[in-house]
Amino acid sequence: MAMLCHLLSFIGFIGIPVGNILGPFVLWFIKKDEDPFVDATGKEVLNFQISACIYGIVCGLLFFVFIGVVLLPVLIIAVVVYTIIGAIKANEGQVYHYPFTIRFIK
């Protein structure tokens, strides 16, 4: 289940607005009381995805000064890579702490 929490964040890439947050949130909300590992993993995933959305908005604003053109693809690649790493770690039974994450949910 914890690995699925990471992978559900890819819903955002298929065109569902904030799907990268909603997918993991629904799973975390349903399973957080049943499994402490899913609870910890879900919080990490949600914090990272919320942070990534904020960083994406900043990159969008920076498009006007051209640096966003460079930063947005880097952000997208980082989100994909870190999400895959997180899913692999969850499959191994480890809570993955995403880098560059603002802790909104503790």
One digit per residue, the tens of pLDDT, for the chain of length 106 reads 899 999 999 998 888 888 999 999 999 999 999 999 999 999 999 999 999 999 999 999 998 888 889 999 999 999 999 999 999 999 999 999 999 999 999 8
CA atoms within 13 A on the CB side of 9: 29
User: Looking at the domain assignment, is residue 105 inside a domain?
Assistant: no
Range of the domain at 55: 2-11+19-27+37-91
What's residue 13's pLDDT?
A: 85
Domain membership of residue 67 (yes or no) is yes
Tokens of 37: 């590992």
Q: How many structural domains compose the chain? A: 1
- Residue 101 has what pLDDT? 96
97 within a domain of the structure (yes/no)? no
Helix (H) / strand (E) element for 81: namely helix 67-91
In angstroms, the CA 105 to CA 66 distance is 33
Q: What is the pLDDT of residue 49?
A: 96
Tokens in use for 83?
A: 């999400």
Reduce the DSSP state of residue 49 to 3 states and report it: helix
